[in-house]
Amino acid sequence: MKQIHCDILVIGGGPAGGVCAVTAKMNYPEKEILVIREQEVQLVPCAIPYIFGETLGCTDKDVASCAAAEEMGISTMLGKVIDINTSEKTALTEFEEIHYDKVVFATGSRPFVHASLKHSLTVQGVFTVPKNRDYIDSAKAYMETKEKIVVVGTGFIGIEMAMEIAESGKQVTLVGGSQHILKGTFDPEVALQAEEILLKNNINFIGADRVSSVLEQNNVVTGVQLKSGTIVNTEVVILATGYKPNTDLAEKAKISLGHYGGIWVDEYMRTENPDVLAVGDCSARRTFISKVPSKVMLASTSAAEGRVAGSSLYGLKYIKGFSGTIAIFSTMIGDTAFSSAGITEGEANASSGDIVVGTFSGMNRHPATIPGAQKQFVKLIATRHGGQIIGGQIVGGNETGEMINIIGLLIEAGLTIYQVMSMQVATQPKLTAAPTNYPIVMAATIIAQKIERG
């Protein structure tokens, strides 16, 4: 068996593993870093839905670049770690024994399928949405000649898959299981705006019902049966029902797991063994505000964890760990962007939070007659006592994707509406809303007025 030695072993080459390796090399340039990954080509996970429509059209256009790691002298090896001994600091692949000083688990996640539907995974025409190029190529090729598609799941992947497929001219039915799409990310008044776009794109949306079984004949899918008894005929079923941590290797190594099955880590992404770290979807997460366990899986969260771990391998270089996910999202539905950060109004009320909400609607350009101007909606959620911003949602044009990052920073920094009210912003007629009614500032001002009035 070939013997390999390195200082830092990163198991997994996705966003978390890649960022961790690059950050580690920047902080510890003298260390030998080895990234081992199972697939030769890493897909950009969030862009997988766009492979199924005209936006990308094929996996060749959804390849994550490894150029930065190679230029920095980080070694990469194709293979699968099948066993690891954290006491002896050795990891085994089929042909190699790797000796390391520090190891980072970045094994990611895999599709979650409810137990009631697992039997359907062997049925022809039923697919999940893994981050596997060969599988995605196979699914896309199968769908090319099919016209009726059922997408199960109304999270971001499900919505984006449904839109891409519908825009290619196929008949799409989207089945959720909750009254509104993107539950837990947007409040109903925002989700309704997204649902209107789905309907305009001829997507048949079934919200308050759920798939109870997949129907087949001769092991080929023919439809789905809903809890209500309704049968929807189809040629393809896509199970976009979420993901779960990939922790098989960690469990085999007897590494402690946290809530929802992720690897337990502290704020610096260390496990109970300081020489073993975990980042990305395979790690257990908590929310930034309430610190309760979280199921959120985001590449941006994974990248942040990778940076924290990569700079903390040999001591706490920066006294700022990862304080929890703020659940910051963006998506495009049609030509409209939807973004969210922090907690929703519904979530805050459900936990008896004493909050105040401010909303503002306007145009994303000034004057409104600028070509390409779109309506813009901003919602902020803040604590009544102190005015700390804990959540926000935006609907508008492309700028929405960056504006939500402002709100995300406000939440992470613990800033209040009073600080936002005096925030100075760069505005330009063809780029932003007017300086006189910049929507984030206006929403904060409205909250301040509500607090003052009691």
Report the CATH number at residue 342. 3.30.390.30
pLDDT (tens digit per residue) in 125-152? 999 999 999 999 999 999 999 999 999 9
Name the more confident of 205 and 40.
205
> Which residue range is the domain that position 15 belongs to?
2-38+79-110+244-310
354 and 285 within one domain: no
pLDDT above 70 (res 355): yes
104 and 136 within one domain: no
Number of domains within the chain: 3
**Which band of pLDDT confidence, cut at 50, 70 and 90, is reported for residue 323?**
confident
**Looking at residues 27-46, what average pLDDT do you find?**
94
For residue 68, the model assigns a pLDDT of 76
400 and 296 within one domain: no
pLDDT (tens digit per residue) in 269-297? 999 999 999 999 999 999 998 889 999 99
pLDDT above 90 (res 422): yes
For residue 316, the model assigns a pLDDT of 86
In a domain, 326, yes or no: no
For residue 21, the model assigns a pLDDT of 97
Which residue, of 261, 277, 310, is where some domain finishes? Answer: 310
127 and 275 within one domain: no
pLDDT above 80 (res 376): yes
**Looking at residues 28-39, what average pLDDT do you find?**
96
For residue 290, the model assigns a pLDDT of 86
The mean pLDDT value of the chain amounts to 95
* pTM of this structure: 0.94
252 and 210 within one domain: no
In a domain, 66, yes or no: no
In this structure, are residues 99 and 1 in contact, taking their beta carbons and an 8 Å threshold? Answer: no
In a domain, 62, yes or no: no
Which residue, of 212, 241, 270, is where some domain finishes? Answer: 241
248 and 196 within one domain: no
Q: Provide the residue type at 413 as one letter.
A: A
143 and 27 within one domain: no
C-alpha distances out from residue 266 to 116, 272, 319, Å: 34, 8, 13
**pLDDT above 70 coverage of the chain, percent:** 99
For residue 319, the model assigns a pLDDT of 63
In a domain, 63, yes or no: no
In a domain, 51, yes or no: no
For residue 309, the model assigns a pLDDT of 96
237 and 161 within one domain: yes
**Looking at residues 397-401, what average pLDDT do you find?**
96
In a domain, 45, yes or no: no
The CA distance from 351 to 299, in Å, is 27
**Looking at residues 158-174, what average pLDDT do you find?**
97
**Which band of pLDDT confidence, cut at 50, 70 and 90, is reported for residue 331?**
very high
The CA distance from 8 to 105, in Å, is 11
**pLDDT above 90 coverage of the chain, percent:** 92
For residue 128, the model assigns a pLDDT of 98
Indicate which CATH number applies to the domain containing 287: 3.50.50.60
Which residue, of 185, 206, 241, is where some domain finishes? Answer: 241
In a domain, 84, yes or no: yes
264 and 206 within one domain: no
119 and 105 within one domain: no
346 and 303 within one domain: no
In a domain, 218, yes or no: yes
264 and 155 within one domain: no
